[in-house]
Every structure is written in structure tokens, then in C-alpha cells.
Amino acid sequence: MAKNKTIFFCKECGFESNKWLGKCPACHQWDVFVEEPVVKKNGTFKKSMINVNEPEPLSEISTEESSRFITGMMEFDRVLGGGIVVGSLVLVGGDPGIGKSTLLLQVCRDMVEKKLNVLYVSGEESLRQIKMRAERIGGFSGDLLLYSETNLNAVEDIITKRKPQIVMIDSIQTMFCEEVSAAPGSVSQVREATGVLLKLAKSYGISIFIVGHVTKEGVVAGPRLLEHMVDTVLYFEGDSSSTYRVLRAVKNRFGSTNEIGVFEMKQSGLCEVSNPSQYMLQGKPKGESGSVVCCSMEGTRPILIETQALICHTNFNMPRRTAAGTDYNRINLLIAVIEKRLGITLSNCDAYINVAGGMKIMEPALDLAIVAAIISSFRNSVVDENTIIFGEVGLTGEVRAVNLSEQRIAEAEKMGFTKCILPKANQSARDNTKVSMQLVGIQHIREILEYIL
């Protein structure tokens, strides 16, 4: 008998090889190759999947807002770039139990209320389980089509027969094609299933959402080719010990990838957080050293966050450095700048830096607030609780300008702050603009010492 031909796939990037390799030459990851049988294509195909549309001139193609479905969830629409694009394929990833299915079910509820034809396909839950979640969320007034199936061929037949406007697939790892002999969730199955859904979305103009599980590293399980095939990649982030959730776009062909949506998980489902700054500053201590408020920009949205630092003497030869919510290497860089430019000895101190609320901030505007928090904790001095600080710090200790300073100042004013310490260049750009709060522009980090009580 002829031996079945197999091939080796990289689980991370989808690279193919005829033999097993310890290290992937494409993504340079170790021990990621799996053996799977070669997909054999039969010579038949469905004529209904052939795109018979004629080419259209670029000038006659419409890009009006009617090509998007507005869900009514402002946070969700913001991340997508203004709504669900017709004929788009969206991948939603996140940790188990983070709320992906709940979010998509709420989107289905809002879309059904707008008289849209929506199909929810679940390969992990029965129809009874979905009904129980829908009753917990509440507010379903329309007829949502539910379908519990893992065979993608059957799902494809239902979609081509019903032709819904929006389809939810939960999840892509549970779907399997009969033509592929590999197990569900494998590289071959995930890639083949996504290809079928992509063809359905583009051929019939159906907006399809697919849920993808994530690995322990926080990336979508399966080949990275999956992220290249879809139009939009959304990650649902959050801490299991906190009720807030952040929806972030890491790829978006129809909008910005810098926008985020903030939600709060409640018993009745996910609720939008219209004012994330107020939410992030809840529980901020008063009169404590090492606590500084900074303003970060997430896309076009300013968010006030609390930066905390704890500096204490160590009894070991190697001091400990810990960073939560920001870049660890950036913390080491700022500590070196403080030691060199201000003469403050931190080599015999442990340094713990935390961005309160669980947010992950990587923009350089956080530098000046971190420096102020470190100095405040080291000197056991308090920064005025009505003061907000932001700015980028260079290796020579200079304070460099940041973008969108007007939006940051306006957000601080709205939250009741009376003083803003910012780069001198940003203050000069606002000399002709009247601001009710006091603006203090500085050029070097040594100037911030006088504002730490």
C-alpha cells in the first residue's frame, strides 16, 4: 500500500517543511513543528462560490457610511473604525473566559434589533447554553438564528442558503473540513476553515466574526497566517482579578489600530465605560509618596492613569527591578538617567513600578511621570494630588515634547486637575491659548525636584 504523504507545519507562522526541524527558519521559534497529512483537493468545486461580478472602475465604487453596520456600542464601533464593514472578516482573540462570546452575543442582540439577519454558529456550546447566556444578558427582542455545528461544510451550506448579513463563528479551532484529514484545531484545519470563511465573506458581502483561542504567550493559537488572512484582528484583554476589559485592534484594514474600547464585566454582561479616566483613578491614595497621575493617549482618546513607584533599600548585592504595565527596559533606562543627571543613588535600592488599573502603557509620554514617582518614593515626598505630569525623557535628562498635548490638557481639566507639568516645547505651543489650569513647562528633569514636596 502507498504510504500517506505528510508534511510538517510551524504552529506559529505556518511555515511548511518536508522534514521535522527543531527551529523554524521563518519565525525562529523552537519546537513548533507538527506533522500533519497533506491536504488532498478533489477536482470538484461549487459554482456558487465563483465570483461572477464584473470589474468596476475605481471612481464608481462607493465608500459611504452605508457600507458599515453601526452596532450602537460606541466602544465597539470605535475600535472597528466606525462600525462593521460589509464583507469583512474579523478575528477576535482573548484568554478563555475573558468575555469574547458575551461580547459577540451582545453585538448580535443590537444588530437583530436593527432588523438585520444575524447567524450565530457555535461549535463549543449547545443551543440551550447560548439561550441561558442570552437570558442573562437580556434585551433580545428580535429573532437571532442559532446554529450549533462543527462541520464547516454544513455551516457553509447554511450560510449560502440563508445569506445572513452578519455571521459569528465561535470558535475557529472547533471547525473542521471533511476534505482535511487532520484533527480540528490543527494548522491545516484552521487555515482551510479560515480560507472558506474568507471566500464566503468576499463573495456574498457577509460580515463574519471568528473567535480564536490564544496560547500562553498571548497570541492566537494556530498559524500566524490566520492573522494575515483576516481584515481585522481584535484582542480582548483584561485581568481575571479585575472587572474591566479592554478591546484593542492590532490590525485593521478599515481604521486605526491605536483605538481601544473599555468595558466593565457585570452580571448582566459587558457595559461600556464612557469615561475611562474616572474609572482608572478610582481608589487613588491621597497624601502618599510615589503616586503620580499621567495622561496617556490611546488613539484619539486621552486616558488619565496613576503611576506608582516604590523605592526601598535592598540587602542584596543585586537590586531588584520590577515593572508592571510598562516596559521593563525603559524603567532601567530612566533609573540610570536619574542616577547620572540628578546624582541620586539608586544602585542600592529595589525599584517597583506599577501602572495602576492593569493598563499596559508603552508610549514615552509616561517617562516624566515615572521619574517623578521614583523621586517622590525615594525622598518619601508627596506630589500634589491636583497635579498631572507627562513628557518624554532623553538620556541627557532633557524633557522632550509629546504629541496631542491639547487633548491631554483638556482631559485633565475635565477631571478637575489644577496644575500640569509638561515639556517646555508643548507649553510654548499653547501660549496663545487660554487655559484655566496652571501650565508649568520644564526642560530638564532637575526642574521637577522643586514640585515634589
Cell of 237: 484583554
Averaged over 331-351, what is the pLDDT?
A: 95
Residues placed in the known binding site for ATP = 94-101
Residue 210 above 80 pLDDT?
yes
Residue type at 99 in one-letter notation: G
Instruction: Assign domain 279-451 to a CATH class.
Output: alpha beta
Residue type at 266 in one-letter notation: K
How big is the chain by its Cα radius of gyration, in Å? 26
> d(Cα 36, Cα 290) in Å, to the nearest integer?
54
- How much is the pLDDT for 2? 46
Alpha carbon of 166 to those of 210, 248, 398: distances in Å?
A: 11, 21, 52
Instruction: Assign domain 69-274 to a CATH class.
Output: alpha beta
Which tens digit of pLDDT belongs to each residue from 234-289?
988 877 667 788 898 889 998 888 788 889 888 888 999 888 888 888 888 888 99
State the CB neighbour count (10 A cutoff) for residue 343.
8
Strand locations in 149-241 (E): 166-170, 207-213, 232-238
Whose CA is closest to 402, among 392, 389, 412?
392
Residue type at 393 in one-letter notation: V
Q: How confident is the model at residue 431 (pLDDT cuts 50, 70, 90)?
A: low
> d(Cα 123, Cα 115) in Å, to the nearest integer?
25
Alpha carbon of 107 to those of 53, 85, 167, 323: distances in Å?
A: 30, 14, 11, 36
For residue 142, give the DSSP letter.
S
- How much is the pLDDT for 398? 96
- How much is the pLDDT for 229? 87
Residues contacting 132, CB < 8 A, separation 6+: none
- How much is the pLDDT for 86? 92
- How much is the pLDDT for 43? 47
The region that residue 10 occupies, defined by phi over 0 for left and psi between -120 and 50 for alpha, beta otherwise, is beta
Crossing angle between the packed helical segments 100-113 and 127-137, to the nearest 10 degrees: 70
Residues placed in the known binding site = 94-101
Evaluate the omega torsion of the peptide bond into residue 171 and state whether it is cis, within 30 degrees of 0.
Answer: yes
User: Between β-strands 301-313 and 291-298, what pairing exists: parallel, antiparallel or unpaired?
Assistant: antiparallel
Residue type at 106 in one-letter notation: Q
Residue 221 above 70 pLDDT?
no
For residue 418, give the DSSP letter.
-
Averaged over 159-177, what is the pLDDT?
A: 92
Which tens digit of pLDDT belongs to each residue from 103-157?
999 999 999 999 999 999 999 899 999 999 999 888 888 789 999 999 999 999 9
Domain layout of the chain by residue ranges: 1-38, 69-274, 279-451
Average pLDDT of the residues of the chain:
86
Residue with the larger pLDDT of the pair 237 and 219: 237
Phi, psi torsion values for 50, nearest 5 degrees: -80, 130
- How much is the pLDDT for 241? 67
Contact (CB, 8 A) for 176 and 196:
no
